[in-house]
Structure 1
Amino acid sequence: MSKNPFKLVECPRDAMQGLHDFVPTALKSAYLNLLLQVGFDTLDFGSFVSPKAIPQMADTEAVLDNLDLSNTDTKLLAIVANLRGVEEAIKHDQIHYLGFPFSISETFQQRNTNSSIKESLNTVEEMLSLCEKSGKTAVVYLSMGFGNPYGDEWNYEIVERWADTLVEKGVRILSLADTVGISTPEKIKTILPQLISHFSEIEIGVHLHSTPKERLEKIEAAYQAGVMRIDSALKGFGGCPMAADDLTGNIATEDVIQFLNAKGADLNLNMKKWNEAMELSTQIFS
């Protein structure tokens, strides 16, 4: 099989984290084990954050012990929000990526990680050092990268300035994250090509949230912008419980697959396992 040039990142962690009822560990694990067989580049499977903040992810360590990685090339990504989370995550050999939400909105950084942007930059530096020592790779999300609902200042220059700062610190994978669905096709097509051009040695991705009506337009805009790393979640489930009372869902993975297939991309996905995951998802997201 030819190597799929698109890095598809499936995000069940983001899909599940805002659910009111706790998903049993065995059910979570069964769902993730199916997704591991589909052929995604990366599975954003869990997080090492305070269980008081995100109770749905309190069993990430137990889930990890239940995952079958014997017959998959998919790499695991765990979200961390502070140094304690980094130290917990790097203990696990199965985890390849550590993801950190670095908000360029001061209000959201406080809401999401209970720290300032300045403090979070220090955490990123510590994370990069620990990742290097432990053989992990850091993924930093430029959260609220398309604007924010809090009235904090936002413009393209701010996005590029923080991207510059993070790259100078040693970040090699940046994902421009929407979180609340503020991104538009126009913003995507304006911001992403400039970032991709400016940081030609850096892997630039997108983590978009959207209403169902706007999903395809945003996927097409990201594709036209030259993005090769795309985060999404089965059926578009999810949203960030720290961002707003009304969760805006993720980009739906099936829409990404359909769009890229129509463009002639060879995604090398096991659609039988994908359909099994779709079926099992009804027990989680009913």
Structure 2
Amino acid sequence: MIKLVECPRDAMQGRSEFIDTAIKAAYINQLSQVGFDTIDFGSFVSPKAVPQMRDTEEVLSLLDLFNAKSKLLAIVVNRRGAEDALHFEEIDYLGFPLSVSETFQQRNTNKSINEALDTVEEIQNLCEVKGKTLVTYLSMGFGNPYGDPFSSELVAQFVHHLDELGIKIISFADTVGSATPELISELYTVNSKEFPRIEFGLHLHTHPQLLKPKIDAAVASGCMRFDGAIKGYGGCPFAEDELVGNVATESLIAILEGHGFDLNLNKIEFVEAMKLANVVFH
């Protein structure tokens, strides 16, 4: 079954103007009625690093989760953030951005890759104690603009290490739009066979006109977990100046339904979410 992850956190985090807390909560409440598997709703990180996310805890307090159809995911980058997030039983998943690129790991979390791997192990242990699931994002998972080493074999080494830590969900993240259909096919085909215990996802930043061949390749290679953001808003503020956006959820839905998948979404609620997105990201 296809799992769709809606990412309002990723859509919002790089915006310079602060989005009102009540508006964020209203938007996430609307998204929770659509039928997405998971909503990446906020992050427990330094407010200096990501000012837009400084109200994540308050947003959480305003969410109406009684009839929500989605699980909640929060991004963390260190033990303290993980401990903060784990105080809330409403949060099902913690997400950690682990980079294949040493340069980007430093830019994104102010850690080396080795330090970040130690943090992943710490957070994984905390999640297991609390009955939560850690989602590890392999950012720069399809190459990087910094000249750092990259190969599909290097990605497989990261996956092997994470498998040894007991990580159950890994999302390959194309932070700067460098994925090709051929590389997507290679990464998913090789790793899904080698590590059958792991659920592999795809978090693309891409130009809209290049999206369909990439999703087609992922589907053909067995990927069943896809991240998107309504209207393609957002991107990573720590990557580079010329950002490519998130995958537009409406485009992702159309492509996946074109493959014959029943995504079990409430289309009426989705239309309302699209309308509300115009208010949030005006």
TM-score after normalising by structure 2: 0.98
SS of the residue corresponding to residue 23 of structure 1 reads: coil
Matched, 1:63 2:59: yes
Conservation of the 8 A alpha-carbon contact between 1:185 and 1:221: yes
1:272 matched to 2:268? The reply is yes
User: What residue is the counterpart of 1:134 in the other structure?
Assistant: 130
Say which SS state the counterpart of residue 92 (structure 2) adopts: strand
Determine which of 80, 83, 94 is the counterpart of 1:84. Answer: 80
Write the distance in 1 (CA, Å) between the matches of 2:235 and 2:133.
24
Partner of residue 32, structure 1: 28
Q: Does 1:105 align with 2:101?
A: yes
Within a 5 Å distance, the mapping from 1:204-243 to structure 2 comes to 204-243=200-239
Counterpart-to-counterpart distance in 1, 2:218 and 2:251: 13
Give the C-alpha shift of residue 124 in structure 1: 0.5
Matching residue's letter, 2:81: G
Partner-residue secondary structure (3-state), 2:35: coil
Aligned residue in 1 for 2:148: 152
Give the residue type in structure 1 aligned to 2:122. Answer: E
* Post-superposition offset of 1:208: 0.8
User: SS where residue 72 of structure 2 aligns?
Assistant: strand
Runs of 4+ in structure 1 deviating by more than 2 angstroms, as ranges, are: none
Aligned amino acid, residue 153 of structure 1: P
Name the counterpart of 1:73. Answer: 69
Confirm or deny: 8 A CA contact 2:200 2:223 kept in the other structure: yes
CA contact 1:185–1:217 (8 Å) conserved in 2: yes
Partner of residue 52, structure 1: 48
Helix, strand or coil for the counterpart of 1:95?
Answer: coil
The secondary structure found in structure 2 opposite 1:193 is: helix
Identity rate of aligned residues, in percent? Answer: 58
Cα-to-partner distance string for 1:68-125 (whole Å, 9 max, x where unaligned): 1111231000000111111110001100000000001000000000011111111011
Matched, 1:162 2:158: yes
How far apart in 1 are the matches of 2:220 and 2:206? 18
Equivalent residue in structure 1 for 2:15, among 3, 7, 19: 19
Could you tell me which amino acid in structure 2 is paired with residue 49 of structure 1? V
Alignment RMSD = 0.8
Show the counterpart of 1:171. 167
Query: Is there any run of 5+ residues in structure 2 with no aligned partner, and where?
Result: none
Q: Contact 1:215/1:252 (CA < 8 Å) preserved in 2?
A: no
Residues 180-215 of structure 1: CA deviation (Å, up to 9, x unaligned):
111111111121111111111111111111011111
Tell me the distance in 2 between the aligned counterparts of 1:269 and 1:132: 30
Does the 8 Å contact 2:206/2:247 carry over to 1?
Answer: yes
Q: CA deviation at 1:247?
A: 2.0
Q: Which amino acid aligns with 1:66?
A: L
For structure 1, the 5+ residue unaligned runs are: none
Which amino acid in 2 is paired with 1:177? Answer: A
- Report the Cα offset of residue 218 of structure 1: 1.4
Work out the CA distance in 2 between the residues paired with 1:135 and 1:66: 24
Question: Structure 1: which amino acid aligns with 2:43?
Answer: S
Report which stretch shifted further, 44-53 or 212-221: 212-221
Aligned equivalents of 2:86 and 2:204: distance in 1? Answer: 27
